[in-house]
Amino acid sequence: MKCILLCAGYATRLFPLTENFPKALLEVGGRPLLDYIIDEVNSLDEVDQIYLVTNDRYTPHFQKWAEDKNNIKPIKVFNDKTTNNENRLGAIGDIQYTIEQANINDDLLIIAGDNLFTFKLRDFVDFQKEKGTSAVCVKEEDYETLKRLGVVETDENQKIVGFEEKPAEPKGRYAAYAEYLYPKEVIPVFKKYLEEGNNADAPGNFVAYLYKHMPVYAFPFEGQCYDVGTHESLAYVNKLYTKNN
């Protein structure tokens, strides 16, 4: 299994902190945010390689971080050559870019580099193995929160039967978070999705497309997942993780 960490966004809502420094390396509780994700990825025997995809502006920072970290699983940094919000590839574009650059033909674990989560990736992988197909992490959220997120509808077996990004009137009770597991047969679908002119940005858009073509299951995780995208959310997790460390 290969892991792709999505770290190519420009985090404009966190300027000036992220104007020339990546969000995923901002300190939370005295450690780079990304280190918490790496701890979890390192716990998976299945993963033998970590790929981090970023933009031209942040590449030197991630390369230095990866070098200094000397992780137990190799980390390779890819520069997607974009320079600003206007020419960015989008998360799905970056997944395809990494697949091509690394010539990936294995199962995929994909994680957004700004997600801090308290559940165990081991539980997610075991769930996906049991289902034998694609899976996405979800959490039950209140009605107002669901309006701001990707919302999934599931059947009694947790199979996804509906998906909508930021719905005005959510039909499901689960919000999708940016942790995904895809078996290797899904790899060609990323290219097909992009060639058809679909939205390359939010990775949830791919789930909304994929479940109509092949089974995708929702893993309802226990715990929290924080999307660190604003000064407020950064301050909140910093306080939380400083208290817990």
Ranges of each domain in the chain = 2-137+177-244
Give CA 152 to chain center in angstroms: 16
pLDDT at 85 over 90: no
Q: Is the pLDDT of residue 129 over 80?
A: yes
pLDDT band at 121 (very low <50, low <70, confident <90, very high): very high
**204 to each of 6, 17, 211, how far by Cα in Å?**
13, 26, 11
Superfamily of domain 2-137+177-244: Spore Coat Polysaccharide Biosynthesis Protein SpsA; Chain A (3.90.550.10)
Quick one: which H or E segment has residue 27?
A: strand 27-28
Mean pLDDT of the chain: 95
Query: Average of pLDDT values for 62-83?
Result: 97
Inter-axis angle of helices 187-195 and 91-102, to 10 degrees? 130
Report the percentage of the chain scoring pLDDT > 90.
Answer: 94
Q: Categorize the per-residue pLDDT at 245 as very low, low, confident or very high, splitting at 50, 70 and 90.
A: low
Rounded CA separation 12/24 (Å):
13
CA dihedral 121, 113, 5, 12 (to 10 degrees): 160
Q: What is the pLDDT of residue 244?
A: 72
